[in-house]
Structure 1
Amino acid sequence: MNQDLQHSLRLRVEQTLQESQTPGATIAIYINGQPFLEMGVGDQDPNHQVPLPSDANFYIYSITKSLLATAALNLVKEGQLDLDASVQPYLPNFSLDAPITLRQLLSHTSGLPDYGEVRAYFDALQATPSSPWSTQTFLNLAQTQGLQFTPGTGWAYSNIGYLLLRFVLEAVTNLPIHQYLHNVIFSPLSLKKTFVPGTLDDVRELTPGYSTFFSGDELQDVIRFYHPGWVSHGVVVSTAPELAKIIDALFAGSLLNASLVEQMLHPIHILGNEHPLFHTIGYGLGLFLGIDSPYGTVGGHTGAGPGYSVAAFHFPSLVENRMTLVALANRDRHDLDLALKIIFRMVRTLERFADAL
């Protein structure tokens, strides 16, 4: 690899970490289906200046939605689910005000509410971070709030929608979600450090993640006491290299056939806001989309939660190469879109060194 390119990528990540007062980040790049780079930048423990390894484990937070969508479309491929049929038969303990389809769950057009907007959720999380709500409590909250709009007539990001998707997947496969994701994604790709945790004991090996969410002003490692059950639909743990392998395999057609990947990339909703990297932003099936970007239709997802900011995106034509870029940062700077900013700067650096690729 070109040493100047590697050095420049490190400098750009370091700059972003300094600007956001973030201890460290890991990045990974795939080019034309092959691993090109993995790098740890900064520290996993700023108090003792312990370097962050490139294969450090992180919660990938809402990037999990892209994996759940992939798992659902695998069942569509097998004829066990229909994108445009009601999911009510798979949800005997949750009554819907109106029929909701699998496509609507995947695209956030179901009208279901999001607990992320509810004060009671944040109050409970801050009060008892090690004791999450039961899934029934999440469902009761959704049932009380009701639909925000008639399914298919609007767009609203909904973690509850993906909790229902998890129930649908578990009902159809008769497997817990961690096992089904292992069977259809993690095992076929021979991943060693990617899994769905269920308890705090399961996440003892995660890299420290820093936040002021619980302390108010002091930056503290929150991963030791933040229970993964607070992410109702389940949350995947992975590394930058392994997550890059997943996203790259998805777009290469190794996990789904080309027609289903095309459906994921079809914008169900246009968010309307312009982005310097992605231009017009839309949402497909489990993917944020850069619809008219100079790199083709960019697809991927961001994620953020206590301790981490994460992003993973696929670029069909970045300096005339198919590329997948991943950034995982060990601080939850929601206000800065921290991991997405790292990816933005990675893209600009790769463009500058196009002749070296």
Structure 2
Amino acid sequence: MLQIEWHSTVNQDFQEQLKLIIGHSLYESETPGAAFAVHINGQPSLETSVGYQDIKREVLLPNDAKFYIYSITKSIIATAALSLVNQGQLELDVPVQPYLPNFSVDTSVTLRQLLSHTSGLVDYGETSTYGDAVKATPSFPWSVEAFLDFAKTQGLRFTPGKGWAYSNIGYLVLRCVLEAVTGLSIQQLLQKVIFKPLSLQETFVPNTLYDVRELTPGYSDFFSENQLQDVTRFYHPGWVAHSVIVSTAPELALMMDALFTGKLLNPLVFEQMLCPVHILGKHPLLNLLGYGMGLFLGIDSPYGTVGGHVGEGPGYSVAAFHFPNLAGSRVTLAALANRERHDFGLQLVFKMVRKLMKIQIKS
């Protein structure tokens, strides 16, 4: 493998080449813009953007544009949960039912099972009940109680620990556990254990449409077939049951890099986060795809065990991943695009990976 000697900042020539590659992808996918950031060996090396905020392509997308990071939020919530494990406030393999007086399941569910999607709790994302409700009242989401009631009516998909199924409801239950244990809202907890220690200025958990008034426009045809709409003024963040974080490419890359470089969790606890509890199978980009606790894992890849998460929902496609051995360096990449397309954020991340593998930056 080519050994790259990285400069503290990626050189201008490389930036322009990368912008051309990303710009071509945006053009092909009819996506207005994307912001991305690169950390190399623990240091920010590139923070830039390509394209536009708006579908008319009149306003350039700033480097610090704000996006919903959607399910990458799970990685951040998982990090907060494991910080409580590290402090002795929670245990991974003890039932969480005592913290949930208003929500019970027939068989005990543990923290580890919630984190790893092995709880058996249902998901709502692919159901017509949920989809129809979002379309009917996009500005008025279900309450936490309504989401939990939905889960109760569906029952468990399998005995906890005996299967794997991605579950947003599982992470809502996790959120409820964390709030019960700490006495803090999920917003306050994440601010305390992650956002404030990392000095993040633009990253937060919104509660209302007013909170997200500065989001970069995000385009989707979910609400009007064959017509792209900016969803930011009417799609309420409460439709993401476990909560959703707003962040920028630079701050998202910083969070993910801090997690993988030992700035947020005890190494022994973090190692468990990286242990695959389920193998999902072959993946065109991540090789053999697994899931740990709050992280998708690319197992046996040319770059070591790659870890991170994707996020998709109305208006945005995003991804953030850490590569432990990318041409001899530890590299964290974040890409955020302002149109909803399956795995588009992940595709942008790997376009950056392939470009980084081809160059040698002299110190």
Shorter-normalised TM-score: what interval?
over 0.9
Secondary structure of the corresponding residue to residue 45 of structure 1: coil
> How many angstroms apart in 2 are the aligned matches of 1:116 and 1:354?
43
Q: Deviations over 1:27-74 (max 9, x none)?
A: 000001110001110000132510000100000000000000000000
Q: Which amino acid aligns with 1:321?
A: S
What is the match of residue 330 of structure 1? 338
Q: Which amino acid aligns with 1:142?
A: A
What is the match of residue 40 of structure 1? 49
So what's the TM-score if we normalise by structure 2? Answer: 0.96
Deviation of the 1:3 alpha carbon: 2.3
Among 27, 33, 53, the alignment partner of 1:24 is 33
Q: Which amino acid aligns with 2:85?
A: V
Contact 2:217 2:232 in 1 (8 A): yes
What is the match of residue 170 of structure 1? 179
Secondary structure of the corresponding residue to residue 334 of structure 2: strand
Deviation of the 1:274 alpha carbon: 2.8
1:148 aligns with 2:152: no
What is the match of residue 328 of structure 2? 320
1:132 aligns with 2:141: yes
What is the match of residue 4 of structure 2? none
Contact 2:51 2:57 in 1 (8 A): no
> How many angstroms apart in 2 are the aligned matches of 1:48 and 1:21?
11
Among 258, 261, 274, the alignment partner of 1:249 is 258
What is the match of residue 105 of structure 1? 114
Q: Percent identity?
A: 67
Among 353, 356, 361, the alignment partner of 1:350 is 356
Unaligned runs of at least 5 residues, structure 2: 1-9
1:274 aligns with 2:280: no
Among 2, 13, 21, the alignment partner of 1:12 is 21
Equivalences for residues 208-287 of structure 1 within 5 A:
208-275=217-284, 277-287=285-295
Among 155, 168, 176, the alignment partner of 1:159 is 168
> How many angstroms apart in 1 are the aligned matches of 2:57 and 2:307?
37
Contact 1:16 1:341 in 2 (8 A): no
What is the match of residue 289 of structure 1? 297
What is the match of residue 200 of structure 2? 191
Contact 1:315 1:324 in 2 (8 A): yes
What is the match of residue 7 of structure 2? none
Query: Relative to structure 2, which stretch is displaced further, 1-10 or 130-139?
Result: 1-10
Q: Which amino acid aligns with 1:327?
A: A
Q: Deviations over 1:223-245 (max 9, x none)?
A: 11100000000000000000100
1:302 aligns with 2:299: no
1:341 aligns with 2:341: no
Deviation of the 1:356 alpha carbon: 4.4
Contact 1:319 1:354 in 2 (8 A): no
Judged with a 3 Å threshold, the aligned counterparts in structure 2 of structure 1 residues 151 and 38 are, in CA distance, closer, same or farther, namely same
Contact 1:17 1:23 in 2 (8 A): yes
Equivalences for residues 51-70 of structure 1 within 5 A:
51-70=60-79
> How many angstroms apart in 2 are the aligned matches of 1:45 and 1:17?
13
Deviation of the 1:117 alpha carbon: 2.1
Deviation of the 1:2 alpha carbon: 2.1
Among 211, 218, 225, the alignment partner of 1:202 is 211
Secondary structure of the corresponding residue to residue 304 of structure 2: coil
Deviation of the 1:273 alpha carbon: 2.3
Secondary structure of the corresponding residue to residue 192 of structure 1: coil
> How many angstroms apart in 1 are the aligned matches of 2:106 and 2:28?
46
Contact 2:11 2:361 in 1 (8 A): no
> How many angstroms apart in 1 are the aligned matches of 2:11 and 2:254?
22
Secondary structure of the corresponding residue to residue 65 of structure 2: coil
Q: Deviations over 1:1-47 (max 9, x none)?
A: 32221111101111111111100000000001110001110000132
